[in-house]
């Protein structure tokens, strides 16, 4: 045990923004029980790694992080998606980890880490399909006691209004941007995806919970909210209101201190015209469409157990741009899916060439444990997949660069993220954190004084140059300055 009695835990997060929200829930639970929480493993008694279990590379990154943590001499604990997905299998294959914790361990995370610190043995769980833990009927899922990471509060008193309940979240950085989890799990059955099996069925958070947490985040200095889930277009279906997200967006955008709300993880087949309109036209909501297309050839999409086509997807993008010509759009694609013919691939090339997307992620197909696609025939050869992947990477780099150049001379609203020796960097409305490039602000003859800018400021800037998907712009007007003297980070807030 630590000599001074102050137990220190370093929380390392891998993977997506949803995992980041889960880490801040774990951090709140630990801080509330007296742990000193940081993201720096130096001097930590326990290193808690929130792992990613999405694809092979992400899993390898998680293992490498766990092994590196073990070299520090601290106790090492694996949590998160990979730990939930593989449980005792991971514990057996990775003896360097002192414990492997599943989602059901989150409410008692402090006791679990305390036990590990004392040298006690912790038996890892046997993996199972978490979809089986919840009722098939979406409306009945909130009545269960199943643990859903990122949905918790200190009190379960349903008679206490959400805005009076403490928020179970401890921010791990001081960024002006934070994610807000709309929902967890997924009811879709995409043949390539294992996420529903270890994340469970789809469960929405209620609007009052979301608004209360959003207000708390704004109180800690957050200026942009990124709404995350496995499938944001399903939000509200288990609450009896399929238009819940359309109604929620203007309420979030109206919260004092927030200047931008961004929606991510849209399923094209579920993106209704009303939702397109809400995202494209609501003041304070970024006209930004993160659409999970994955492919555009109908035969491949059917094998993926998805819906759509090149023409339908182009029509969806066109409907957004008619409402907001400057709207940003991004997507991910898988090349080399089982059964993908040369004609299928060329159809994808045609779509990508016509879609005018701002950012594109490309994945080369690989079998994932427990997925239907892993058992499919018609596997594409590794050499062919590599060739298609390399060609697609070159194509999207060129196309996204061209799309950035289309913005030359235009005005963009930039949220300042960082101000340091490297300059002033932020993101325009079409640039989501981490994945879509950024905008470097530079001095101009009639521009805003760069020396007066701070993280969280929202400025209007004229685009003067591009570097791939990144923009260079001169700020010409301060739209909304970040409040001076931002509050210190809090463990909980009522």
Binding site listing for [4Fe-4S] cluster: 16, 52, 81, 186, 190, 193
Chain centre to alpha carbon of residue 27: 18
Q: Which residue positions form the known binding site?
A: 16, 52, 81, 186, 190, 193
Q: Determine if residue 73 is left, alpha or beta; phi over 0 gives left, psi from -120 to 50 gives alpha, anything else beta.
A: left
Helix (H, G, I), strand (E, B) or coil at 31: helix
DSSP state of 266: B
Are the C-beta atoms of residues 267 and 302 closer than 8 Å to each other?
Answer: no
Q: Determine if residue 392 is left, alpha or beta; phi over 0 gives left, psi from -120 to 50 gives alpha, anything else beta.
A: alpha
Rounded to 5 degrees, what are φ and ψ at 280?
A: -80, -25
Q: Which tokens go with 470?
A: 């990144």
Are the C-beta atoms of residues 482 and 488 closer than 8 Å to each other?
Answer: no
Are the C-beta atoms of residues 264 and 227 closer than 8 Å to each other?
Answer: yes
313, 282, 20, 15 alpha-carbon torsion, rounded to 10°: 20
Cα separation, 427 vs 182, whole angstroms = 23
Q: Quick one: which of 117, 118, 82, 119 has its CA closest to 101?
A: 82
Q: Quick one: which of 61, 73, 85 has its CA closest to 12?
A: 61
């Amino acid at each position: 045990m630590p000599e001074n009695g102050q137990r220190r835990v370093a929380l390392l997060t891998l993977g997506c923004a949803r995992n980041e929200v889960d880490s801040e829930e774990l951090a709140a639970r630990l801080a509330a029980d007296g742990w000193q929480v940081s993201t720096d493993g130096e001097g930590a008694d326990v290193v808690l790694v929130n792992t990613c279990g999405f694809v092979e590379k992400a899993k390898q990154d998680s293992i490498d992080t766990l092994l590196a943590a073990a070299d520090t001499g601290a106790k090492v604990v694996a949590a998160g998606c990979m730990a939930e997905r593989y449980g005792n299998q991971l514990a057996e294959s990775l003896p360097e980890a002192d414990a492997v914790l599943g989602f059901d361990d989150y409410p008692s995370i402090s006791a679990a880490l305390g036990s590990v610190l004392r040298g006690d043995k912790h038996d890892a769980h046997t993996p199972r399909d978490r979809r089986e833990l919840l009722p098939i009927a979406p409306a009945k899922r909130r009545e269960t006691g199943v643990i859903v990471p990122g949905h918790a509060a200190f009190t379960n008193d349903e008679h206490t209004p959400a805005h009076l309940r403490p928020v179970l979240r401890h921010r791990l950085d001081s960024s002006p941007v934070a994610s807000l989890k709309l929902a967890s799990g997924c009811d879709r059955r995409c043949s390539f995806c294992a996420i529903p099996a270890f994340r469970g069925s789809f469960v929405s958070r209620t609007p009052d919970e979301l608004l209360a947490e959003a207000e708390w985040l704004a109180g800690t200095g957050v200026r942009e909210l990124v709404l995350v889930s496995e499938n944001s277009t399903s939000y509200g279906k288990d609450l009896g209101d399929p238009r819940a997200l359309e109604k929620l967006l203007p309420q979030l955008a109206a919260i004092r201190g927030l200047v931008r709300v961004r929606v991510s993880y849209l399923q094209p087949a579920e993106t209704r015209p009303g939702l397109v309109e809400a995202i494209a036209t609501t003041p304070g909501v970024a006209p930004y469409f993160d659409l999970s297309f994955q492919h555009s050839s109908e035969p491949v999409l059917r094998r993926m157990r998805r819906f759509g086509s090149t023409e339908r997807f182009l029509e969806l993008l066109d409907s957004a741009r008619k409402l907001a010509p400057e709207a940003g759009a991004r997507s991910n694609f898988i090349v080399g899916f089982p059964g993908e013919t040369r004609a299928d691939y060329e159809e994808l090339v045609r779509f990508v060439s016509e879609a005018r997307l701002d950012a594109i992620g490309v994945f080369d197909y690989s079998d994932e444990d427990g997925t239907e696609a892993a058992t499919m025939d018609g596997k594409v050869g590794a050499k062919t997949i590599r060739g298609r992947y390399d060609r697609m990477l070159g194509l999207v780099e060129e196309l996204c660069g061209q799309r950035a150049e289309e913005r030359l001379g235009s005005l963009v609203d930039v949220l300042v993220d960082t101000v340091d020796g490297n300059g002033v960097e932020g993101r325009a409305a079409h640039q989501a954190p981490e994945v879509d490039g950024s905008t470097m602000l530079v001095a101009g003859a009639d521009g805003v004084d760069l020396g007066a800018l701070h993280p969280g400021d929202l400025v209007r800037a004229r685009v003067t140059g591009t570097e791939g998907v990144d923009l260079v712009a001169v700020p010409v007007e301060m739209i909304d300055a970040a409040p001076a003297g931002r509050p210190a980070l809090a463990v909980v807030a009522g």
